[in-house]
């Protein structure tokens, strides 16, 4: 906060308004001795002329003077130079006059004869009061400026917030439209997938399954018949929920493990699977062990056949 510089006594100009030269000399001598710069006006008219020519820091004004009174001059000063302190000096000790003078918001009231100490104290108090009022005014102006700046900043911030809010609402509307479009697209994709699955299922039953049925009633060796049954079972598994469920649960099964899992689900024993796949029983046992591990059944007492059969029901 900017502070007002403290004025030195030598820089302080005091206007003494009194028609008595003796009072002027007493006041001037006392104030000069303490470094004040004093000027004299013998009437209110002369005081007005001096006030129009230069600035003063304080006015010492008698009440009773030829022409305009000191109270009238005080009213003029308060109306035109409200910042200028006025001290009334009068030889009339009247309570009524004192009340009238104080109603003008003067800075001091002294009754003649004035003691030098009283004069110095009154002058110092008036100047100090003026300094404090100037500081208070400066602080008020700075406070108003700060409030204005912060108000402007707040208005700008509020405008920015409203702009951001509008942008967010716009983005939200765009996202909602995009979400609706994606929902429609997903629905169409689901419909297309269902239609494709239906076509695949229809084609399998129309183009493949009839020939498998003919092979089944043909003259086949026992092993050939078992192969045909395996092909039939494999096709049916592909067309059933079991294939999808097993693939989802055991995504890391190898093709050989996946084939063994299908046969286990059909209820085939290790020996039967070994004969069908032309693999050793130890190899089938190894596949079973890996299947249980990958399906999370390693330490669970549940048969692999029942677990795989349950998948087909999901």
What CATH code is carried by the domain that includes residue 300?
A: 1.10.10
Residues 16 and 133 in one domain: yes
Low-confidence ranges of the chain (pLDDT < 50): 1-2, 4
Range of the domain at 304: 219-312
Answer yes or no: is 203 within a domain: no
> 106 with 129: CB under 8 angstroms?
no
Rg of the chain (C-alpha set): 56
Residues 137 and 224 in one domain: no
DSSP the chain: ---PPPPPGGG-EEEEE-S-HHHHHHHHHHHHHTT-EEEEESSHHHHHHHHHHS--SEEEEES--SSS-HHHHHHHHHHH-TTS-EEEEES---HHHHHHHHTTT-SEEEESSPPHHHHHHHHHHHHHHHHHHHHHHHHHHHHHHHHHHHHHHHHHHHHHHHHHHHHHHHHHHHHHHHHHHHHHHHHHHHHHHHHHHHHHHHHIIIIIHHHHHHHHTS---HHHHHHHHHHHHHHHHHHSHHHHHHHHH-TT--HHHHHHHHHHHTT--HHHHHHHHT--HHHHHHHHHHHHHHTT-TTS---HHHHHHHHHT-
Answer yes or no: is 80 within a domain: yes
Residue 24 sits in a domain whose CATH number is 3.40.50.2300
Residues 132 and 25 in one domain: yes
pLDDT of residue 181: 87
pLDDT of residue 244: 55
pLDDT of residue 186: 83
Answer yes or no: is 200 within a domain: no
pLDDT tens-digit readout, 71-101: 999 999 999 998 899 999 988 777 888 888 8
pLDDT of residue 286: 93
pLDDT of residue 298: 77
Residues 26 and 114 in one domain: yes
Answer yes or no: is 212 within a domain: no
Work out the widest C-alpha separation in the chain, in whole angstroms: 156
pTM: 0.47
Q: What is the arrangement of strands in the sheet containing 13-17, beginning at the earlier edge strand? A: 37-41, 13-17, 58-62, 86-90, 108-111
Residues 15 and 117 in one domain: yes
Answer yes or no: is 180 within a domain: no
Which of 275, 265, 207 is CA-nearest to residue 233?
265
pLDDT of residue 1: 45
Answer yes or no: is 296 within a domain: yes
Number of domains in the chain: 2
């Amino acid at each position: 906060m900017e502070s007002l510089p403290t004025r030195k006594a030598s820089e302080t100009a005091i206007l003494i308004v009194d028609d008595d030269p003796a009072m002027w000399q007493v006041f001037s001598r006392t104030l000069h001795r303490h470094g004040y710069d004093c000027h004299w006006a013998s009437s209110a008219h002369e005081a007005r002329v001096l006030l129009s020519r230069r600035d003063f820091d304080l006015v010492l004004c008698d009440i009773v003077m030829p022409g305009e009174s000191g109270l009238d001059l005080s009213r003029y000063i308060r109306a035109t130079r409200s910042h200028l302190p006025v001290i009334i000096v009068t030889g009339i000790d009247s309570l009524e006059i004192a009340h009238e003078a104080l109603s003008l918001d003067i800075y001091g009231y002294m009754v003649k004869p004035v003691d030098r100490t009283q004069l110095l104290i009154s002058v110092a108090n008036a100047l100090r009061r003026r300094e404090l009022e100037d500081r208070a005014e400066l602080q008020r102006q700075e406070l108003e400026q700060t409030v204005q700046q912060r108000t402007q900043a707040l208005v700008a911030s509020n405008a920015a917030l409203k702009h951001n809010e509008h942008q967010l609402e716009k983005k939200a509307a765009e996202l909602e439209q995009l979400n609706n479009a994606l929902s429609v697209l997903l629905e169409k994709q689901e419909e297309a997938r269902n239609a494709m699955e239906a076509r695949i299922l229809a084609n399998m039953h129309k183009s493949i399954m009839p020939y498998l049925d003919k092979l089944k009633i043909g003259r086949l060796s026992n092993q050939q018949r078992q192969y045909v049954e395996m092909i039939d079972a494999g096709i049916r598994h592909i067309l059933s929920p079991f294939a999808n469920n097993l693939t989802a649960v055991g995504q890391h099964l190898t093709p050989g493990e996946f084939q063994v899992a299908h046969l286990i689900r059909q209820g085939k024993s290790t020996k039967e699977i070994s004969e069908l796949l032309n693999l050793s029983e130890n190899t089938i046992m190894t596949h079973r062990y890996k299947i249980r591990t990958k399906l999370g059944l390693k330490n669970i007492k549940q048969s692999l056949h029942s677990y795989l059969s349950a998948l087909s029901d999901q």
